């Protein structure tokens, strides 16, 4: 299963540094980064596609991330 996350950030560079620093936490949650996209016009919207091998761990990680207060949505996906 995959998770598509949309994050709105006023400072992409700071967000990307924090994202890269969170690598170990994502791995422990069973998440693997597949792709990151950045809005070509505004630059403040980031989309991240993650592969998730444990939904409960992924949901716990998402809850922790949402606790930091930034605007973030997440959708769990599966191949149709």
Report d(CA 79, CA 3) in Å as an integer: 11
Report d(CA 33, CA 11) in Å as an integer: 20
pLDDT (tens digit, 9 = 90+) per residue, 6-41? 999 888 899 899 999 999 999 999 999 999 999 988
CB neighbourhood size of 44 (10 A): 15
**Over 80: is that where the pLDDT of 68 sits?**
no
pLDDT at 42: 78
Residues 29, 61 contacting (CB under 8 angstroms): yes
**Over 90: is that where the pLDDT of 45 sits?**
yes
Q: Which domains does the chain have, with CATH numbers?
A: 2-77 (3.30.70.100)
pLDDT at 66: 82
C-alpha pair distances (Å), 69 with each of 9, 22, 62:
11, 16, 12
Mean local confidence (pLDDT), 54-63: 95
Between 18 and 71, where is the model more confident?
18
């Amino acid at each position: 299963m995959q998770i598509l996350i949309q994050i709105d950030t006023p400072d992409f560079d700071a967000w990307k540094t924090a994202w890269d620093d969170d690598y170990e936490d994502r791995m422990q949650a069973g998440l693997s980064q597949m792709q990151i996209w950045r809005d070509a016009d505004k630059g403040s919207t980031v989309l991240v596609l993650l592969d998730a091998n444990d939904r409960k761990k992924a949901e716990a990680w998402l809850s922790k991330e949402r606790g930091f207060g930034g605007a973030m949505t997440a959708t769990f996906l599966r191949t149709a």
